[in-house]
Chains A and B, each alone.
Chain A
Amino acid sequence: MFLDISDDQDALLTTVSAVLARAKSRLVLGSGKASFDLELDADLDKNGVLDAASYPEFGVSTAALIVHEVCRSASITEVGASAVIRPLICSDAPRPLAVLTGDPGQAVRFLPVARAVLVLSEAGASWFPVSPDDIEVVDSYFAYPMGRIHDPERCLARSRSVADPMLARRLAQLAVAAEISGVLQGGLDAVVEHVTDRRQFGRPLGTFQSIQHRLAACASKIAAAKWLAFKAGSGSATHADAVTALAYAQTVVDPIVYDLHQFLGAMGLTLEHPLYRWTYRAKLLKSEFGGASRSNRELADLAW
């Protein structure tokens, strides 16, 4: 066992940090909720960090670590599917990727910017390339660009199946778990900063025990979600490990998102503060794969 960042991973994270710092300098707040940083997407790709899962010295745990760190940033890009699934399942698919797990006509995150769609269903897994003509952009309630496929049947007709659909599903579940731990961590970081600086009643908000305890409880849940996701990427991990990570992460979203918004006060309800960029990603991620209820049941079925 070695439950820490290795030197190699640390070097990779240094690259990721530099990429994210460039993204932060471009970040403009205050406009619409849905957002996508195409430059960040290209920068991550160019620096090779999205391929880590396929390198023996790194593997899927490292990909989950990258996903966690990128999602911790207020800048939004497609990293979960590209870092965790694509290198092992469909490395020839162009990216960004959108992942379709339910009704092919439903609104899906990243579709307006996606160049390929990965389809995961009971029947198997496949992917097909898409162009903007295939997509109808929908008004997004979440902090992701959302879209719908005009003609799912036509797109599905050109899909190519992937070799190991069970692995594809497992990696997709793990990717969402790592995304959730990352966005919740990013939100927590921002709220900790806020309650440290903001003073009321003559003292920083963060000195009030009710706030301290609830943020500490959030921290424990987020740390656990993160390590469960990393563990689910290890060499001996099973499908149950990925579903454990997903089920746990989806379960903790609601109480954490509530607390994060609560302690930012009215500021957290504005588009001037980036909090929504984390919480309105978490609010969609918690419903992936049928949501916490389905994921916990899937875990029970796998475990027993």
Chain B
Amino acid sequence: MNFEWSAREQAFRDEIRSFLARELPPDWEKIARHGPGSKQQTEFSRVFCTKLAEAGLLVPHWPKEHGGRGSSVWEHFILGEEMWAVGEPRGPQYMNVNWIGPTILRFGTAEQKARYIPEIAAGNAVWCQGFSEPSAGSDLASLRTRADRDGDHFVINGSKVWTSYAGLAQHCFLLARTGGSRKDGICIFLIPMQTPGITVRPIPALVGNGDLHEVFFQDVRVPVSSMLGEEGKAWSLITYALANERIGLPRYQLSTRVLGEMVEQLKANGSWNDDIVRFRAGQALAASEAARMLVYRVVDQRSRGLPPNAESSLARVAIVEADHAVANFALDFLPEAFSGDVLPLLKPHHERAIAAGIASGAAEIQLGIVASDYLNLPRS
């Protein structure tokens, strides 16, 4: 056991902090208040991520030939922690960095890499993730969107739902089926959102503007070359992509940041002397630190090249609890701070917290994985 950061890791963290101190504009938190999918934040992320890229801090964990600097798994994770600690100014681009880019790098053709990777590494690409469908949520393998071969094209028909960032995205990482059933027969397509036949409809939601959309595909023709990986064999790629997606969320950093800001307010208004307020603040902090430890376990295993396992679900469960502990603390003791600009990160934190147990695989799905693969309980 060793819980210490290496000098190199600490230096990397310091480098990111100085970058943020230099480059995050004073009105950043007000921009963040609009939510991660908002027009304001998406536009901000294009400028901010370009600067991150120029500083070598957008995709440091990628190979050097693709704009990275060969940073370690832990350094990649430290980058995520520091971004979350200030409210995730990368906006939708965290997906490109954490899993869309790495999946294309790992499984893409030379042509696909040449087309998409430089743009992601430069910090001005916005992607959306076309997985969930009206009848395929937790049960993703039941997805129905079709891709039928027509010469050197596929014709895509179907619909996606809850697609974050779809209104402003240039590209979609889309799942569709060429045949088969369940996990068999699913394909990934990398497609421009401007392709004729794609319609995007925003869904008004509690999680901020621009986050949730429906996306309809009507006779959308895409070249065969837009398929990522082998036809019908996308499930293992999806597993790879999701494993990357799921560790990329050091959300407890935002939780502890917001909690600290709330404490300052409570001290100022005199409520901090109340034992119950301090009790609940301590409880929320401890829950956040608990989530941190379980996430660190997962990152450590990953850094040692061990395959993903049920411990990431164990961590996800703790993350959801921590997010809610902090969000509920705010509602109990500082409801007035949800309006106005005193604590601008409170609202985006709350919006993320209410989605934490649903997006990227519901908490109950994670509990099921823990039951079967960690506790080895009998399967029904």
Which B residues from 257 to 297 make CB contacts under 8 A with A?
A: 260, 263, 267, 272, 275, 278-283, 285-287, 289-291, 293-294, 296-297
Residue from the list B278, B290, B321, B378 in contact with A225, Cβ < 8 A = B290
Contact partners of A297 in chain B: CB under 8 A:
275, 278-279, 282
Which A residues from 47 to 106 make CB contacts under 8 A with B?
A: 61-62, 65
Which A residues from 234 to 285 make CB contacts under 8 A with B?
A: 234-237, 244, 247-248, 251
Q: Does chain A have a CB within 8 A of B14?
A: no
Q: Do residues B300 and A4 form an inter-chain contact, with CB atoms below 8 A?
A: yes
A83–B373 alpha-carbon span in the complex (Å): 33
Q: What are 13 A-B pairs at a CB distance below 8 A?
A: A4-B304, A61-B3, A204-B378, A213-B368, A217-B367, A223-B311, A227-B296, A230-B3, A247-B286, A248-B289, A293-B275, A299-B282, A304-B281
Contact partners of A228 in chain B: CB under 8 A:
286, 289-290, 293
Which A residues from 198 to 244 make CB contacts under 8 A with B?
A: 203-204, 206-209, 211-213, 215-217, 219-221, 223-225, 227-228, 230-231, 234-237, 244
A133 to chain B, nearest CB (A): 41
A196–B378 alpha-carbon span in the complex (Å): 6
- The residue on B at minimum CB distance from A199 is B378
Residue from the list B275, B311, B379 in contact with A207, Cβ < 8 A = B379
Q: Do residues B370 and A220 form an inter-chain contact, with CB atoms below 8 A?
A: yes
Q: Does chain B have a CB within 8 A of A1?
A: yes
Q: Does chain B have a CB within 8 A of A6?
A: yes
A223–B314 alpha-carbon span in the complex (Å): 8
Q: Does chain B have a CB within 8 A of A140?
A: no
Q: Does chain A have a CB within 8 A of B375?
A: yes
As a 0/1 sequence over residues 31 to 62 of chain B, the CB contacts with chain A under 8 angstroms (1 = contact) are 00000000000000000000000000000000
Q: Does chain B have a CB within 8 A of A303?
A: yes
Q: Do residues B2 and A219 form an inter-chain contact, with CB atoms below 8 A?
A: no
Q: Do residues A293 and B300 form an inter-chain contact, with CB atoms below 8 A?
A: no
Known contacts A62-B1, A304-B263; is-contact A3 B297 (Cβ 8 Å): yes
On chain B, the number of residues with a Cβ less than 8 Å from chain A's Cβ atoms is 52
As a 0/1 sequence over residues 4 to 43 of chain B, the CB contacts with chain A under 8 angstroms (1 = contact) are 1100000000000000000000000000000000000000
Q: Do residues A244 and B377 form an inter-chain contact, with CB atoms below 8 A?
A: no
Q: Do residues B371 and A215 form an inter-chain contact, with CB atoms below 8 A?
A: yes
Q: Does chain B have a CB within 8 A of A5?
A: yes
A172–B304 alpha-carbon span in the complex (Å): 33
Residue from the list B1, B4, B368, B380 in contact with A4, Cβ < 8 A = B1
Q: Do residues B371 and A2 form an inter-chain contact, with CB atoms below 8 A?
A: no
Q: Do residues A300 and B285 form an inter-chain contact, with CB atoms below 8 A?
A: yes
On chain A, the number of residues with a Cβ less than 8 Å from chain B's Cβ atoms is 54
Contact partners of A164 in chain B: CB under 8 A:
none
Q: Do residues B286 and A251 form an inter-chain contact, with CB atoms below 8 A?
A: yes
Contact partners of B1 in chain A: CB under 8 A:
2-6, 9, 61-62, 65, 230, 234
Q: Does chain B have a CB within 8 A of A122?
A: no
Contact partners of A139 in chain B: CB under 8 A:
none
Q: Do residues B293 and A231 form an inter-chain contact, with CB atoms below 8 A?
A: yes
- The residue on A at minimum CB distance from B311 is A223
A202–B224 alpha-carbon span in the complex (Å): 51
**Chain A contact residues, majority secondary structure:** helix
**Chain B contact residues, majority secondary structure:** helix
Residue from the list B74, B286, B314, B364 in contact with A244, Cβ < 8 A = B286
Contact partners of B380 in chain A: CB under 8 A:
203, 207-209
6 tightest CB-CB pairs across the interface, nearest first? A296-B282, A224-B290, A212-B371, A216-B370, A299-B282, A234-B3
Q: Does chain B have a CB within 8 A of A295?
A: yes
Q: Does chain B have a CB within 8 A of A195?
A: yes
Q: Do residues A213 and B364 form an inter-chain contact, with CB atoms below 8 A?
A: yes
Q: Does chain A have a CB within 8 A of B317?
A: yes
Among B2, B303, B368, residue most surrounded by chain A Cβ atoms (within 10 Å): B2
Apart from A212-B367, A224-B291, A228-B293, list 7 A-B contacts with CB within 8 A. A1-B74, A6-B1, A213-B367, A220-B321, A296-B279, A296-B281, A297-B282
Q: Do residues A248 and B287 form an inter-chain contact, with CB atoms below 8 A?
A: yes
Q: Do residues A1 and B5 form an inter-chain contact, with CB atoms below 8 A?
A: yes
A128–B289 alpha-carbon span in the complex (Å): 36
Residue from the list A1, A196, A206, A247 in contact with B282, Cβ < 8 A = A247
Q: Does chain B have a CB within 8 A of A192?
A: yes
A268–B158 alpha-carbon span in the complex (Å): 53
A61–B293 alpha-carbon span in the complex (Å): 14
Contact partners of B107 in chain A: CB under 8 A:
none
As a 0/1 sequence over residues 67 to 96 of chain B, the CB contacts with chain A under 8 angstroms (1 = contact) are 000000010000000000000000000000
A213–B283 alpha-carbon span in the complex (Å): 23
Q: Does chain B have a CB within 8 A of A301?
A: yes
Q: Does chain B have a CB within 8 A of A298?
A: yes
A304–B278 alpha-carbon span in the complex (Å): 10
- The residue on B at minimum CB distance from A203 is B380
